[in-house]
Amino acid sequence: MYDFIYHRATSIGGAQSTFKSSDDPVYLAGGMTLLPTMKLRLANPSDVIDIGQLDGLTGVERSGDEIVVKAMTTHDEVAASADIATAIPALGSLADSIGDPHVRNRGTIGGSIANNDPAADYPAALVGLGSVVVTTSREIEADGFFTNMFETALEPDELITAVRFRIPEAACYMKFPNPASRYALVGVMVARTNDGVRVAVTGAGPCVFRVSEMETALTADFKPEAIAGIPVATDGLNSDIHAGSEYRAHLVGVMAARAVAACS
């Protein structure tokens, strides 16, 4: 790892002003992606702004028909939350499937979505559940938040403070993990909400995406058979030594059908 200037932020405003006055800064949340990237020298920030000890950025709250997860809440805390287990069990089990227990003790929801890894699980949860990302300056619909591989709608110094999840009628996340890395080769979140069904896919493409044909079919008839004949286009899907684009496209249908079956 190259040398850098370390800043321990004591307030959100302080973290942002350090960011603005630095050369090539980066925020450090749990560090589960950033630190390995820096160790491989794929990232070489001039300044690392550690937001890990800021107050008020962790915890889960239920308010009305929403679950609010603060940005620095770890995957372990999401997995262990009784409120989430009652309201959106699919979200708790998704968090419990990320990495391994030690990674879940450090990795945070805000860090994960700000990174927008194409194979990360949370993007499917946010888009599938129709969530809202709350930042230091605004609220961003999940549909518009994840813009491209490792890219989001965030401004450089903007910090995520929370994610608001609408509580669905039913939801389920099914993942086909890469047998070695355990990252999602394909992961599908299916959610039945009061304004229709949402189907969000991670791992298959460069960025999380929705499958509108499946959503329409499932809104009309929420059964695995309803999406049996719906093909997923292979254009633009990931293709690598682990799985070709055709295999991934096929898995989207299989995982979506399993998710529907587990919901109903």
Partner 1 sequence: MKVNVGVTVNGKKVTAEVEARTLLVQFLRDHLELTGTHVGCDTSQCGACVVHVDGKAIKSCTILAAQCEGTNVVTIEGLADGDTLHPMQEAFRDNHGLQCGFCTPGMVMAAVDLVTRHPQPNEELVRERLEGNLCRCTGYHNIVKSVVAGAEAMAR
Judged by CB under 8 A, the chain residues 170 through 229 that form the site for partner 1 are 182
Question: How many CA atoms are closer than 13 Å to the CA of 88, on its beta-carbon side?
Answer: 33
Options 12, 14, 50, 85; binder of partner 1; rule CB under 8 A: 50
Task: Work out whether strand 184-193 and strand 170-177 pair parallel, antiparallel, or are unpaired.
Answer: antiparallel
* Residue 82 found at the interface with partner 1 (CB under 8 A): no
Report the residue number, 5 or 82, with the smaller CB distance to partner 1.
5
**Judged by CB under 8 A, which stretch of 31-39, 86-94, 183-191, 244-252 contacts partner 1?**
31-39
| Number of residues counted as binding partner 1 (CB under 8 A) | 27
Options 28, 54, 94, 133; binder of partner 1; rule CB under 8 A: 28
- In 3D space, the residue among 21, 31, 79, 22 whose CA is nearest the CA of residue 51 turns out to be 31
Residue 232 three-state SS: coil
Report the residue number, 89 or 99, with the smaller CB distance to partner 1.
99
* Residue 250 found at the interface with partner 1 (CB under 8 A): no
Query: 């079919």: which residue's tokens?
Result: 217
Q: Give all strands of the β-sheet with 160-166 in edge-to-edge order.
A: 60-63, 66-70, 160-166, 132-135, 139-141
Q: Least separation, in Å, of the C-beta of 5 and partner 1?
A: 5
Q: Least separation, in Å, of the C-beta of 25 and partner 1?
A: 13
Report the residue number, 48 or 113, with the smaller CB distance to partner 1.
48
Q: Least separation, in Å, of the C-beta of 191 and partner 1?
A: 26
Residue 14, sorted as left (phi over 0), alpha (psi -120 to 50) or beta, turns out to be alpha
* Residue 89 found at the interface with partner 1 (CB under 8 A): no
Options 14, 99, 206, 244; binder of partner 1; rule CB under 8 A: 99
Confirm if 57 and 82 have CB atoms less than 8 A apart: no
Report the residue number, 53 or 137, with the smaller CB distance to partner 1.
53
* Residue 100 found at the interface with partner 1 (CB under 8 A): yes
Q: Least separation, in Å, of the C-beta of 263 and partner 1?
A: 23
Report the residue number, 37 or 136, with the smaller CB distance to partner 1.
37
- In 3D space, the residue among 261, 229, 225, 232 whose CA is nearest the CA of residue 248 turns out to be 232
Cβ burial of 258 (10 Å; 0-12, 13-18, 19+) is: middle
Report the residue number, 49 or 200, with the smaller CB distance to partner 1.
49
Helices (H), the chain: 12-20, 34-39, 75-80, 82-87, 89-95, 101-104, 109-115, 122-128, 142-145, 212-220, 245-263
* Residue 48 found at the interface with partner 1 (CB under 8 A): yes
**Which residues of the chain form contacts with partner 1 (CB under 8 A)?**
1-6, 8, 28, 31-32, 35-36, 38-39, 48, 50, 52-53, 76, 99-103, 105-106, 182
